[in-house]
Structure 1
Amino acid sequence: MPSLEWLTIFFVLLAPSLAQEKASPISEQCGDVLTEPYQPLQIKQSADKDCTWDIKRSANETTRLVFSVLNLNPNADCSQENVTVSDENLQVLGVLCPNSPQISVFEAVGGLSVRVFTDSNTSDRILYLFYNSFATGSEPVSCGGNTRGISGTISSPSYPNRHPDFAFCVWHLDAPKNTKIQLSFTEIFLEIDPLCRFDFIAVYDGPSTSSPLLDLLCGRTTAQLETSSNSVTLMLSADYANSYFGFSAAYKALPKSNTTSLSCSGDEMTVIINPSYLESLGYTADELTLTDTACGPLSSNPVAFIVPYQTCGTVRKLEDHTISYTNTISASLARGLITRRKQVQIIVTCELDGNTVVEIMYTTEDDIIQEQRDTSRYDVGLSFFTSETFVTPVLESPYFVDLNQTLFLQATLHLPDPQLTVFTDSCFASSEPKFQAATYDLVRQGCAKDDTYHNFPSGSGFARFSFGAFKFLHLHNSVYLKCRVVICDTNDTASRCNQGCITRHRRDLGSSKWKANAVVGPIRLGHHTHNDISESIGEENGSKAEHGSFYLFGILVLVANVLIVSLVVLRSSRKQRAAYRYHPVPTQ
């Protein structure tokens, strides 16, 4: 037997004894002050206790605290029994209750404190936690990240070699809509412990560690898991000793229906076909193509098609208020006179209507038809440019500008269709990003409301405009913009994009109308000198003096008009006969 296999067996046999040694002794004292840079702590707490463990660290360090065992009285509620974690300023970071998740992680700059409060129940409570501190802004191990895809692999840092000590990694994985994710752990070799106290992998069924815990893995094993959604989160936590080879996991997206799924984005469709479903029909991925037979699947496990809107035989159709893109996935016809396989056709359509993208899929197996629907939104971006040539975009955020500086913006539809154009219907500003404060209109229903607003001619897939920079009085210098744009067919002369300013509400704004919203910001004023501010105030006062007499004249005219209208109404009411006057209805 090779020496590496002997060494592996030796580690497997030795690991449980090392784990037990590291877990002892159990702390039964009521509280303590911990000053080490890292330390595991197993607490056995009895009834009617209120104990606090203070972790003392310097102000230039970050302390991470990981709970891997939380065994409180299951019959108590959170007011009777809990674990409270606070930072060194006594700010509560979280409260763990008897029904809280098994794995919990807290971080703070400086030290932390852990307070364990128990009720009168005589059962023992067991907690296992591990903390380590490191220089703020410098993780001990670089790992984790965000991933979007149909299939791939995730592995621990340094795999297939030993993972480093103090590894703490979080991976967020997103697959296309209407899919679920299958995770296949081909190898897991972490510190062996029945409770997974020391080194472990936590798998969450969703986009964050707040999602439901799907499984907790450790030791020497393999596993296959399946999520209920198109997102999964993996957390690897390792302490300071007994590091092994870590893990390697393959992931792939599968349809939630176990047959097929469809999702639409700004410029393409994604179709996922379950390999087992295709196999049950007697086909392989290599036999499937789009309408253009030169366009085959992107992958075979899962069977995935990326369907572009502009090529591969995709058909574009305009009907009433809807624009649709349709393609067909089909299997090549059998050769010869007979076949015992069903003729499979998967007709996929993305319908763009209103503020949404409606996704439709039909799967035909001779006379069997399946239908699926989903919704999304137009992908419209709003960006600043440095000049009216709209060549160089502004990449900095926030965008620092001067008062009354001309700002150039472009709303872009991220859909490469030359027959669509964009029109800026409405655009307003706010001093805060949620637009819950008072807003200021730049343009409303195509009508300019700001004197400096200027609309440039629209083009294929974009709209452009400019205005003079301003600030909100008595508020911060930041300004956020939200614009409602309309997407139209360039060949439709009666569309909303060709109607311009609308001063009254119309029921039908054109035969081809699609709306989307875009937000950009913040715009922030640059730093000004005292002289700049004084000149600005002087100009404002001068403007008020010039317009004072005009305002007085307008008020006098308004009063005169009110008096004339009152006299006309009074004279008209006297001429009416009493039989046609309104009388009050008596009430009981």
Structure 2
Amino acid sequence: MRSASAWVLLCLLLAAAAQPSRQQPPERPVFTCGGIFTGESGFIGSEGFPGVYPPNSKCTWKITVPEGKVVVLNFRFIDLESDNLCRYDFVDVYNGHPNGQRIGRFCGTFRPGALVSSGNKMMVQMISDANTAGNGFMAMFSAAEPNQRGDQYCGGRLERPSGSFKTPNWPDRDYPAGVTCVWHIVAPKNQLIELQFEKFDVERDNYCRYDYVAVFNGGEVNDANRVGKYCGDSPPAPIVSAKNELLIQFLSDLSLTADGFIGHYKFRPKKLPTTTALPVTTTFPVTTGIKPTVALCQQKCRRTGTLESNYCSSNFVLAGTVITTTVRGGSLHATVSVINIYKEGNLAIQQAGKNMSAKIIVVCKQCPLLRRGLNYIIMGQVGEDGRGKIMPNSFIMMFKTKNQKLLNALKNKQC
């Protein structure tokens, strides 16, 4: 049935595109594994579309529109093996040709909004593994004037020493549904990027699954370099890049929308002059944690207070299983598989299927002591990078099912 519906959609789209000879049905195109496409517009599709795409394949389409214009890519149909992290079958879209910045990675049946290149070239690459397959994808590309792309388009390369970025339609009305925006901020090699959101209102979801803003260190969408993923109506904490590049990705699905956001950035030297003191409210730590000091880590490691007395003073409260631990310097970096979240704060939660996890840093690796495979109630603060920070005086205890009633009661507590 999916193949039939994809073929019907293909016929309708091609009939609409071919204005002459309405009497004759459009010829069924043959979509091959990749190719080179030039001109004002055209269609690309997975090998054999609308039939099932082959396994173990890697196909690359290189698109070039006339000089002085940009490429706009609209997915009309997508049906690839579904995975929350798109690890198996996926379509990658890049600015330019080889070695270009990746604009996004897509899989499943979610159709992204219009994708726009910063120049006159775009590359699309589809990779499939040995297992589950679907009907693939079909997309239409077209040329557009760089400064006349309309309200639906956004994103681009930002290289000025300071500037702003905002969602389409801001501030007059809500951002549109089905939009993908990518801003690539590039500073000189010896500088960093400070990023701050002034206003922020993106459809709320506990795990930011529908509409969200994601910020990445570097020049491409890469979960290993993700600083955080944000939604709701609280602006993210200020961010400072690890090096001289940041990528900001905004995505809205095809349902609810909201006001959107406006953000600002500026370049700064890697090391601030010693005479420069930033106000406490806008201090941006460059590293992901607080460096442990001898004095700090020589404190007695003793839990103080109770669940109730520590609840309000903690940014986040969760119950979870420690699944990985790595010692870096004097600190312990851990990944916690979430059993339940009672207070989320700005903690970055990652989701793969039904599994949720969070990353935490125990600043003094032995205090409090966390062991892999055990269940804990963890309370702590949250750094600018969305990771939990556990200090020697943070409240940690073994998690038992009898604790759930009290924790659920605290969840409804007004702090």
Please state which band the TM-score falls in when normalised by the shorter chain: 0.3 to 0.5
Q: Which has the higher contact order (CA 8 A, sep 6+)?
A: 2
* Structure with the larger strand share: 1
The two structures have a TM-score, normalised by structure 2, of: 0.36
The two structures have a TM-score, normalised by structure 1, of: 0.27
